[in-house]
Amino acid sequence: MNNQAKEEQISKEEVAEATEVKETEESLLDTVEKEVEAEEAVKAETELAEEKEEAKPRKKKAKEEEDVVEEKTYTIPLGKALIMPPRRRAPRAMRMIKEYVRKHMKIPTRAAEEDEEAPKLMLTNELNERVWGRGIEKPPRKIRVRATKDKEGNVTVHLAESD
């Protein structure tokens, strides 16, 4: 009987171990399923966020197009920037672009009244990179730009080839 009792005890222990193994396997499967669901939720959220980001620039571009009062394209000669010493040529070219656009787009340098702000002149990064692209010593001889004026009188200067 002693052997039989030992066998029963061993079989009970094996059954208990098997159920524990099954429970741990089930709990592992549950955690894996939860992790997969969480990953899917994160993916869905990132896709929604990307769609919102893609939608925002479209609205912004449309808003910019509505606000444009005047738009002109100019070819600005920058040959006189080469008169300067080599390390001052690209900064001179940038100043020449600003002066040219101020003159031709009729931007006042000071506000008419003290309460008002003077209209701003903004150059885009693409234009800046084109002028500085070959370094400080070798700015381009001429450059085509597109200047747009909005309702407040602010002027933004874009590179003409980027459109």
Judge whether 16 lies within some domain.
no
pLDDT at 96: 97
Judge whether 6 lies within some domain.
no
Confidence band for 85, pLDDT divided at 50, 70 and 90: very high
Judge whether 73 lies within some domain.
yes
Confidence band for 15, pLDDT divided at 50, 70 and 90: confident
Q: For 122-151, what is the mean pLDDT?
A: 96
Containing domain of residue 108, as a range?
69-162
Site of tokens 């200067």: 157
Judge whether 154 lies within some domain.
yes
Average pLDDT, the chain: 84
pTM of the entire predicted model: 0.59
How many separate domains does the chain show? 1
Confidence band for 126, pLDDT divided at 50, 70 and 90: very high
Q: Which residues of 6-22 are buried (b: 16+ CB within 10 A; e: fewer)?
A: eeeeeeeeeeeeeeeee
Q: For 102-123, what is the mean pLDDT?
A: 83
CATH of the domain at 98: 3.10.440.10
